[in-house]
Structure 1
Amino acid sequence: MLFAKTGQQQNKATPGFKADVEMEFTLRDAYVSVIKGGRKTKVQKYDAKLLKGPKNTLVELKGNYLGPILNYIKGQKVRIYYKNKMSEPSIIHWHGLHVPQHSDGHPMYTLAPGQSYVYEFEVMNNAGTSFYHSHSHNLTAEQVYFGLAGLIAVTGDEEQKLDIPRGEYDLPFVIQDRTFNKQNQFQYLRGMHGKMVGFLGDTILVNGLPNVMFPVKSRAYRFRAVNGSNSRIYKLGWDDGTPITAIGTDAHLLEKPETRPYFMLAPGERIDLWLDFSGRSVGSELVLYSLPYAGAIPPKMEEQRLGKKSSGSMGMGGGMGMGMMGGMGAMALA
């Protein structure tokens, strides 16, 4: 395989750039237990080590294939030493962050196996949610599907003055659809139809796992929802019809909260949800669904593509979840 050398490789730290945060980032092939009790699934995985900076800069999501959560503060200077330990080319793109061109992860800087790169940038964003992912030419969709993605949370002085849930009450909610074969391995683009209209999986994963349950207290939470799917659009809403409130979208907070019956979330989009469980009884459950909606793909065509009968009108994404039921995350009051 040939690797294009159209961008100048930055493989050394810049003299005079005084980093507040330094990390080592590597990517590798790995095997992770996604489906409990079954064979481990082969994935592509980011590993990271914090060399300098606040301890909560890196937060690992244990037991799954997603990369660690990166917690940045506006104004921090960041240096990342990146090495490709896989058998195919890759580079990281910081989706939503305002960074210099040479640190954006453009495909022209794609690294061949064994090569290294040094990212350097100042965090210029206001408080909000972004994410990072592979950005290799002709390999982006497949590498993201197999695991090369993670969430970024930015905070700053303005946000710190607001009464917003933090710490254990500020939770990731990365939504992805996947298809597994009988050996619990990811299946991607099984035919020409998927290549033409985009991949749609038959199982919803949240934070890299199926059938996710969040034990919550009788209080407000912030859920940073990210659509990490390749093509699927989600119509997020509660199973009992309770309105849902957003406080942020993509890489910034809203001027004021917005409450609606549901929110649409396309691939790559982020939305910060304010989920308030105050007043609900202990032991009660709420399920966040991808509600049915009419879209670009007729239901009958989607049934034929999946080789199974679907529930409801799925279009590009509604109605799918645990199996084909539509649920993607349950919140149980402890």
Structure 2
Amino acid sequence: MPLKSLVARLPYPSPAVQRVLAIAAVITQGGIGVTGSIVRVTGSGLGCPTWPQCFPGSMFPVEHPELSAVTQWIEFGNRLLTGLVIVVAGLCVLAAWRIQLDQPSRRRLVALAWTMPLGVVAQAVIGGMTVLTGLLWWTVAIHFLASTPLVWLAFMLLRAFREGDERPRWLIEPLGRKLMVALVALLGAVLVAGTVVTGAGPHGGDPDTPRLDAPIDLLAKVHGGLLVAFLVVLAVLGLNFSRTGVPSPLWRRYTVLWVLALAQGGLGSLQYALGIPEALVSFHVLGSALVIVATAALWCATRDRGPVPARTPEPAPVLATAD
């Protein structure tokens, strides 16, 4: 039986199911970055020294004189979480595909859903490269940065379940559009700079991992400076909103982004002042995921793609009958 026929037999996902699946995608895509940071700050990055197996000949941790069981299971647990991410991603694809069978115009929804499992596969390959190269700082940076667009796309998928597929219509004036684009670009720059600071910092994922030989004080100032630029653009964007007038939902998302960005900046300053304690590093990674989601929410609120198309169920197959 063709796969399309099997998907057509699935119940049509209700709006509540669609929302739960998309929110689960956002949480798992952001959460895998947080658990990865826990692996890094606890020095468990090589708890499983091979990939895709944990040890040669075993997919699971085995007793090893040079590795503690805790270290092994922290790294192995992070790998197991990838399985949950794959399950959620697969369910998102099935839900989107089932919807498209009744609403053929929802091609964008299906395309966004497919970015979830494809992104997991890409992350698994990058993760393998990270382990096999001994956690070189730039491979760890790529591993984290690869997860950031997936968090963004997961939120876009959440939005796509609740909107149409018309050509996006901006709800703000041209200057506001340029400021929004600049804001997103600066967010990317802040994230990249943050991974460079991490590369020169003390938490490499393994005590013997070589670090980036660069002055961390200077790197931290560049990272902080980019965040200040992000906040300045955000402030100018708010002035533009006040001058031109925007819907109240957009103002709410704008306010949430301000709160999260300020909190993230304060947390970064605190962890630097305290000597980069392990727990604050993971909270900072969580904060970055929240800022990505809040920025994506603001971006989506500035554009309109029309209402969700009406559902037109495919006709049931006609069974042949004898004369």
More helix by share: 2
How high is the TM-score relative to the length of structure 2?
0.29
Higher relative contact order (CA 8 A, sep 6+): 2
Structure with more strand by fraction:
1
Q: Please say which structure displays the higher CA radius of gyration.
A: 2
TM-score by structure 1 length?
Answer: 0.28
